[in-house]
Amino acid sequence: MPSENVLDRFRLDGLTAIISGVGPVIGESVARAFAQVGANVVVSARTESKVMALAEDIRAGGGNALGVRADAASQADRERLVAAANDAFGPVHILFNNAAVGSIPIDQTIWDNGDDIWDRAVQVNLMGPYKLASCWSHR
């Protein structure tokens, strides 16, 4: 009896994934892994050169990828990200919300932060994933 490769159960062929916050560790690794198992990946971050280079590298390795510069705290950027994913690959099936900002400078305590730092952290880390999911679900 032929044995099935357990990794074949995790294939994402034909599915489309948006990965926000494709920094150099988790987001980038997830994007590469999703592409390796057949997903169309749409990578996003605030730095355009980063997302374009990552998307090109994934395509050079045989995957399907699109880079879209987007700030997770911006409603216009979130809507543009979802629209670009839909235009390129059709319906989005997976959201991997990885965008985040840190709020505490190394030489300060948590109590030294002003409202602007907290507001940015809430908008990116908490509201960003919720509102990106909302943009996606309404398509």
| 117-134: pLDDT as tens digits | 888 888 888 998 999 998
Q: Residue 53 falls within a domain, yes or no? A: yes
Q: With respect to residue 129, please indicate whether it lies within any of the assigned structural domains.
A: yes
1 domain-assigned: no
pTM above 0.85, yes or no: yes
Question: Does residue 105 register a pLDDT over 80?
Answer: no
With respect to residue 113, please indicate whether it lies within any of the assigned structural domains: yes
> Does 67 map to a domain?
yes
Looking at the 3D structure of the chain, how many domains does it have?
1
In a domain, 69, yes or no: yes
CATH assignment of the domain containing 39: 3.40.50.720
Q: Is residue 96 one of the residues assigned to a domain?
A: yes
Eight-state DSSP code of residue 91? S
The answer to whether 136 and 70 are in contact (CB under 8 A) is no
E strands, 63-114, are 64-69, 94-97
pLDDT digits (tens, 9 = 90+) for 35-87: 999 999 999 999 999 999 999 999 999 999 999 999 999 999 999 999 999 99
Domain interval for residue 87? 6-137
**Banded model confidence at residue 112, pLDDT cuts 50, 70, 90:** confident
